[in-house]
């Protein structure tokens, strides 16, 4: 079956512009996560959606970052007034919540470059 897809794969923008990053999770997965990864580094948790529950936004670095998940499926991560330090790869993952193991399936990421 299809995996997690993300678009665009690459985004170059100018400082101060807004950007939207899209994630299409695996069909039937009720949990969705956004992470940020700096070059060659580990992943930094940003936000987590689970079904109709209020999202866990505890990882968002500033109020310029927001995310929504429409209809329990597709998610959009929005960064307003982008800064150069926002440059990173933004990864989305989804998870089927049944079962005891915590397996997340990752998309290929969106590489964001802020000039």
Partner 1 sequence: TQLLEQSPQFLSIQEGENLTVYCNSSSVFSSLQWYRQEPGEGPVLLVTVVTGGEVKKLKRLTFQFGDARKDSSLHITAAQTGDTGLYLCAGAHSSNTGKLIFGQGTTLQVKP
Q: What does the DSSP 8-state code read for residue 55?
A: P
Cα-to-chain-centroid distance, residue 40: 18
Q: Which one of 7, 13, 56, 66 is in contact with partner 1 (CB under 8 A)?
A: 56
Q: Which of residues 16-35 bind partner 1 (CB under 8 A)?
A: 31, 33, 35
Residue 34, token pair as written in the block = 């956004």
Which region, judged by CB under 8 A, interacts with partner 1, from 14-22, 66-74, 75-83, 96-104?
Answer: 96-104
- Interaction between residue 11 and partner 1 (CB under 8 A): no
- Interaction between residue 102 and partner 1 (CB under 8 A): yes
* CB of residue 64 to partner 1, shortest distance in Å: 22
Q: DSSP labels for 5-47?
A: EEE-SEEEE-TT--EEEEEEPPTT--EEEEEEE-TT--EEEEE
Nearest to 92 by CA among 39, 45, 56: 45
* CB of residue 81 to partner 1, shortest distance in Å: 27
Residues engaged in binding partner 1 (CB under 8 A): 4, 31, 33, 35, 40-45, 48, 50, 56, 91, 93, 95, 97, 100-109
């Amino acid at each position: 079956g299809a995996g997690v897809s993300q678009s665009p794969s690459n985004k170059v923008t100018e400082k101060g512009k807004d950007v939207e990053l899209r994630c299409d999770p695996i069909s039937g997965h009720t949990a969705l996560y956004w992470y940020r990864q700096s070059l060659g580094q580990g992943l930094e948790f940003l936000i987590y959606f689970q079904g109709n529950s209020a999202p866990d936004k505890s990882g968002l670095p500033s109020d310029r970052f927001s995310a929504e998940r429409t209809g329990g499926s597709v998610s959009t991560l929005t960064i307003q007034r982008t800064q150069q330090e926002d440059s990173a790869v933004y990864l989305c993952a989804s998870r089927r919540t049944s079962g005891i193991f915590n397996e997340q399936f990752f998309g290929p990421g969106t590489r964001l470059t802020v000039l």
